[in-house]
């Protein structure tokens, strides 16, 4: 009995630890200016390690990019799921470490989704993209788009290149599009950010599309709840008043 519970504990610990150790069959790739920096980015590896139905893949990254003498730090997380629909979450921050030249940093998160080989599947339908960006200084710009294709419908289709945000400030970019025919067993996605830094930007200048901390968001949820509760109580008290 003790042995059984110990082995169950060991299995649970391994199941939790394997993704953290990078031991996972799902492959996600991140490119910076077409150079693979995280995971593997070849089409064969991505399709072989596609996210399957019911699966989730998460990870973090922190790497440097050198462009025309400028050094950038790229860090953040990703969170992709394949439950009833497909979901991509890509939350990078690019910070100028040193250098004074103008630069454009393009980040691509590559993720494939595989459903089955029944030969009658389509991925057509409405796709959404929501991209909040935080630009720390004047002269910085940000835009993004998400592209989808399949193993049969191989030309990438964009949900829409979003309007360019000019820093400084917080911006919320969003778009939606109906894509098709997207027939095939494999959905190929590319979540793309394009960040530009002006000449003579100060070290520490950053552009970010971060995942909000729960500690920052929980008060917002509480606020919404309080607002709804307050109005609901007032509505009920008025409704039952004779």
Which residue's CB is nearer to another protein, number 91 or number 139? Answer: 91
* Residue 157 to residue 180: CA distance in whole angstroms: 9
Q: Which position among 125, 163, 169, 203 is part of the footprint of another protein (CB under 8 A)? A: 125
Residues 43-82 within binding reach of another protein (CB under 8 A): 53, 82
Which residue's CB is nearer to another protein, number 96 or number 146? Answer: 146
C-alpha angle 169-175-179 in degrees, rounded to nearest 5: 155
Q: Who's near 109: CB < 8 A, 6+ residues apart?
A: 28, 29, 30, 78, 88, 90, 190, 191, 192
Measured CA distances, 177 to 29, 90, 122, 126, 174 (Å): 24, 19, 16, 6, 11
Q: Which position among 9, 13, 220, 236 is part of the footprint of another protein (CB under 8 A)? A: 220
Which residue's CB is nearer to another protein, number 53 or number 63? Answer: 53
User: What is the size of the binding site for another protein (CB under 8 A)?
Assistant: 52
Q: Which position among 55, 132, 139, 156 is part of the footprint of another protein (CB under 8 A)? A: 132
Residue of 96, 44, 46, 92 lying closest to 69 (CA atoms): 96
Residue of 97, 27, 14, 17 lying closest to 55 (CA atoms): 27
Tokens of 134: 């935080």
| Residue 84, helix vs strand vs coil | coil
Q: Which position among 8, 222, 231, 233 is part of the footprint of another protein (CB under 8 A)? A: 222
Which span sits near another protein by CB under 8 A: 1-9, 21-29, 96-104, 209-217? 209-217
Tokens of 222: 């509480």
Which span sits near another protein by CB under 8 A: 28-36, 61-69, 96-104, 183-191? 183-191
Q: Applying CB under 8 A, which residues contact another protein? A: 53, 82-91, 113, 115-116, 120-133, 144, 146, 148, 159, 179, 183, 187, 189, 191, 193, 209-212, 214, 217-218, 220-222, 224-225, 228-229
């Amino acid at each position: 009995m003790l042995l059984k519970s110990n082995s169950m504990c060991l299995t649970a610990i391994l199941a939790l630890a394997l993704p953290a150790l990078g031991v996972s069959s799902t492959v996600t790739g991140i490119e910076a200016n077409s150079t693979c920096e995280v995971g593997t980015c070849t089409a064969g590896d991505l399709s072989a390690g596609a996210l399957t139905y019911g699966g989730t893949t998460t990870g973090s990254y922190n790497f440097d990019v050198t462009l025309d003498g400028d050094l950038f730090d790229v860090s953040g997380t990703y969170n992709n799921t394949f439950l009833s629909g497909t979901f991509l979450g890509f939350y990078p921050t690019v910070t100028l470490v040193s250098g004074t030249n103008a630069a454009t940093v393009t980040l691509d998160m590559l993720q494939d989704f595989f459903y089955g080989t029944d030969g009658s599947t389509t991925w057509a339908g409405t796709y959404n993209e929501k991209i909040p960006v935080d630009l720390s200084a004047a002269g910085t710009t940000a835009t993004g788009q998400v592209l989808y294709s399949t193993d049969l419908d191989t030309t990438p289709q964009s949900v829409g290149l979003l309007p360019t945000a000019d820093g400084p400030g917080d911006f919320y970019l969003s778009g939606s599009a109906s894509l098709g025919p997207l027939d095939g067993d494999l959905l190929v996605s590319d979540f793309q950010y394009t960040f530009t830094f002006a000449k003579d930007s100060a070290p520490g200048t950053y552009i970010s599309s971060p995942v909000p901390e729960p500690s920052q968001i929980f008060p917002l949820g509480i606020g919404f709840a309080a607002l709804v509760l307050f109005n609901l109580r007032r509505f009920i008290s008025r409704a039952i008043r004779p």
